[in-house]
Structure 1
């Protein structure tokens, strides 16, 4: 039996697309093996969101070539889409496939086996009419949560971001297709379905009479049973009162929102082309926290954007300190050639970026601890993720907290009720409840 190995870099969308490819390769008769093992095909799903992502993508390609020179090495995804010639210069690479064509990778590899042309490059422009494929999983993969890509593409053109060039315009999956995929995944036993996309909140903007709130209502109406829905990252301008009302009205929708901030300075937000103000973001987060008690609110924040002055950073720090966010994802700005921000200045010294990053990471730790403390003693739902030790399991609560607890039997993959009791060594611990 032929063997295929996959390595994914970057976002949740890349991860779900890799899972889709794994399904396609299994249907072709491949055995899926860990990336560190010998394989006939190595697939690297690349990321280009930062220069570090580029470097890691190239390193994984070279590692695969070195591990088994006779294997087929394929690079796919965002870096392949934006800079295929850079990848083509890597010795030993066989196939380069952009985002538009990567769902056909298994077929392309079969054709390569016939033609033996080096390297094969399948990269073409992504168009607004390109439809997202329906993916039907025929067996459970080695995960407790299932991800569905309901949307792809972005048209926001934030000045620092290469993603619109890598992913193309907004395309939404037809609601009937989403329903079909969820039905099939719940039939396989998945208890948590994560709806994700490159710009998840833009779902439906290219469809008639559909948006994310209407999709959630359709899911809840048509699919009954013991499962829950989690939403991927949503931009501030796409969270409206109707969506919050739908979330607050159903226990099957996880109390968890990831709302990127990027900066708490109106001046920097303008330079980033983010289209909202610190005041708008503040009011939104407070409204979310008021509408959905116990909600976990995660925020992305960037330090070191060109010409970020000390006052801009302090505005960011103070806003985040004030707001009821549960976690922070802190990024240091890096230049992406081809973006407007790449032409901006002055650049911020790495030393200053590091200092500002450390300050926000300390704030993030404090915010997470504060949120965990607020959940102690509260009965909540958790998805059992894995067994850690004999009789000890780890679960993920609906509001995105990891919790360890004893259980008399292996309930991995099931939804249970738990009560957090203490935080020990930075780990939340609790008990199962009825």
Structure 2
């Protein structure tokens, strides 16, 4: 039996796509092994959203190339936008762009051993093609299941390389999404995360409805004890109807990740983000007022070109005024080929890092405040892992991890747990049905 190993960098969509690739190779008789083990083939699913992602991707390629008799294949976003650069790395046999990633098993098995390396598969996009469904035969490592409902982005944010890396919007047909979810529930999953590169754009290329209609179809046609979590949604895509659905159906997780990027109207305009700080403030206040206990999280960028002290203060003050549960803070990374790469002045790295640290400190305080607000509440946890004998850790629908003691193994199950306290970053609870 041939052995194959994977390494994944970047976003949840990349992680989902790696699971899909694994499933395809399993069907063909391959054994999946750890990336550190000996294998016949190594696949690196790369990311290119920042220069740090590029560096990590190259490092993993070099690591795989230490196995001289193994096939080394690169796919993902860096393979899409910088395939020629990756082709110069020693030991690379195959480069497959994002648009052909789902066919990588066929490509590998059809490689001519005499063909000059590296082989570069860089096919053109088919805008009319919908995403194909993936029906898993077994549970994977994670307790939660991810369903990729959409790929591609055409928003045109001035700092972002993703439209080049992912191509135009392509959606999975609603009936195919439903088939995947029913299959995952039959395998024992109890939380389904709907994800995509631009999840809120789901359906704009279809005639069969948008994200709201997809959610309503899933909830109406799928029974059982499960819950649905939405991945990132842009501010203009969080509609009153979606908020209402999350407020009134307990199967919808009380968690919205809504990228902010900046709290300065000047910077938002330069980023080509199509909302204002005032719109964002009103939206999050509406959600918080409609859904008790909702977790609100966001992406925030520091050091965008031209960001002055006043612009950063606008971001800090807006975040401070809102009931966030957590933030993903990251410094601007200059991406060749984007409009922001040519904007002046570029902010010095030291200043970007200093601003990031200030926001990270605020994020820690926001997280502490949110968790303390949950003390005394009973939450339904999806039990994910065992910390030590008799102690388990689960994730609530509003995205906090709570540890509790149990007499038996409850991994993969729902468990009602009352939050008892929060100390030194550790959230403790007691199970309500011992």
Query: TM-score range with shorter-chain normalisation?
Result: over 0.9
Partner of 2:130: 131
Partner of 2:79: 80
Partner of 1:405: 404
Q: List runs of 5+ in structure 1 lacking aligned partners.
A: none
Residue 303 (str. 1) matches residue 294 (str. 2): no
Native 8 Å contact 2:174 2:208 kept in 1: no
Cα shift readout 1:298-324 (whole Å, capped 9, x = no counterpart): 010000000100000000000000001
Cα shift readout 1:268-318 (whole Å, capped 9, x = no counterpart): 000000010000000000011111111101010000000100000000000
Aligned 1:2-401 pairs, distance under 5 A? 2-66=2-66, 68-112=67-111, 114-401=113-400
Distance 1:276 1:183 in 2: 36
User: Which shows bigger deviation, 337-346 or 348-357?
Assistant: 348-357
Distance 2:147 2:303 in 1: 34
Q: List runs of 5+ in structure 2 lacking aligned partners.
A: none
Aligned partner of residue 39 in structure 2, secondary structure: coil
Aligned partner of residue 205 in structure 2, secondary structure: coil
Runs of 4+ in 1 over 6 A off after TM superposition: none
Native 8 Å contact 1:131 1:173 kept in 2: yes
Distance 1:204 1:120 in 2: 34
Distance 1:156 1:64 in 2: 35
Native 8 Å contact 2:297 2:327 kept in 1: yes
Question: Across the two proteins, how many residue pairs are aligned to each other?
Answer: 433
Native 8 Å contact 1:10 1:53 kept in 2: yes
Native 8 Å contact 1:234 1:259 kept in 2: yes
User: Which shows bigger deviation, 416-425 or 110-119?
Assistant: 110-119
Distance 2:187 2:408 in 1: 21
Quote how far apart the aligned CAs of 1:114 are.
4.4
Native 8 Å contact 1:127 1:169 kept in 2: no
Distance 1:116 1:185 in 2: 40
Partner of 1:421: 420
Native 8 Å contact 2:193 2:229 kept in 1: yes
Distance 2:124 2:174 in 1: 25
Aligned partner of residue 319 in structure 1, secondary structure: helix
Cα shift readout 1:11-58 (whole Å, capped 9, x = no counterpart): 000000000000001011111011111111100000000111111101
TM-score, length of structure 2 as denominator length: 0.99
Aligned partner of residue 100 in structure 1, secondary structure: helix
Cα shift readout 1:46-83 (whole Å, capped 9, x = no counterpart): 000011111110110010001x1110000001111111
C-alpha distance 113-430 of structure 1, shift in aligned 2 (>3 A): farther
Quote how far apart the aligned CAs of 1:424 are.
2.3
Quote how far apart the aligned CAs of 1:171 are.
1.1
Quote how far apart the aligned CAs of 1:125 are.
2.8
Distance 1:228 1:189 in 2: 12
Quote how far apart the aligned CAs of 1:115 are.
4.5
Native 8 Å contact 1:126 1:167 kept in 2: no
Distance 1:18 1:207 in 2: 26
User: Which shows bigger deviation, 207-216 or 86-95?
Assistant: 207-216
Q: Give the aligned CA root-mean-square deviation in angstroms.
A: 0.9
Aligned partner of residue 149 in structure 1, secondary structure: strand
Quote how far apart the aligned CAs of 1:130 are.
2.2
